[in-house]
Amino acid sequence: MHIRMIAVIVAAILISARAYAAEEKIRITYANNSLTFLAAFIAKDKGFYAKNGLIAELIQARPAVNIAALLSGDVDYVEVFGSAIRSAARGAPIRAFSNSIKAPFFSLVVQPSIKSVKELKGRVVGVASVGGTNQISGRLLFQHFGVDPDKEIKFLGIGEEKFVVEAFRAKRVDAILVAPPFSVMMKREGYTVLANAADVVAFPLAGLSTTVDRIKQNRSQVKRVLKSEIEALRYLRDDSVGSTDVIRRRFAMDDQLARDSYAVVANAFSRDGRIPVASVENVLNLEKKEGSISKSVTVDSVTDLSIAEEVLKEIGR
């Protein structure tokens, strides 16, 4: 009897040790506190990371800091898709391996005196960061409306979107590019939304990237991180009540604003995390046109598409 009890205790300790070992701590950075990163917030708040044996710490940092922290090993993954693609195109040993948003849901909000996109020629447009996905979406939007974003628009990098909005209210800038909930709030306050980037721009927004070494040495973990995000994406699309609750809590919103914000962004999110090749090619072509990356850079140089395919096969698409 005594021997059996010892055996049971030893077995329990071993099971506990295996469970503890399965919980890997990871650090993931994201660029700003906005709905752009809702999939990661849901993966954290609704327990999808934990379900896949991960203790995830989400850390907010500027896009350039995200990439530097990834390369130095201070963090394990980044959620800044555009910055990761551009860094990889310039030779950084990192690869994007998922995309959570199919099109940017930034809105162009303007001061009352401005009635058309072309009236912004020579004006100042506030963005989160110059060179970030926010600004690149704006550049493509202005090009669509026949405005040269490099010669006719003055972009001002301000930081977190709440500070972009504050600068706009103080009339430090003539227009801003912001995502919900801020675009919804601006519309509520009576400001004009001249254009929505998602209507005219094909550009992947947000998604996971990591180092080439991590993909080679710990592919199992990389796949579990992506599996967590894909499960969060499916939850986001299928459970409006639960997703709205995450928005309300994360952004301290009232129920109506949370519901309105969810309604604006939900359909922009992917269901499978796949990276749209054509959209990445658009980004690379823009950089090549400016001469900032080599013309030899291809989609395969900056992404790893195989990880998503493996995960989707394992979870049954």
Non-local (6+) Cβ contacts of 299 within 8 A are 277, 280, 281, 284, 305
Per-block mean pLDDT, blocks of 10 residues, the chain (317 long): 49 45 86 89 97 96 88 95 90 96 88 95 93 84 93 93 94 94 90 89 85 97 97 96 96 91 89 90 83 91 96 88
pLDDT at 22: 56
Q: How many residues can be counted in the chain?
A: 317
| 55 φ, ψ (degrees, to nearest 5) | -105, 100
Strand duo 24-30 + 54-60: pairing: parallel
Q: Where do the domains of the chain lie, and which CATH numbers do they carry? A: 2-102+204-314 (3.40.190.10), 107-200 (3.40.190.10)
Quote the pTM value.
0.78
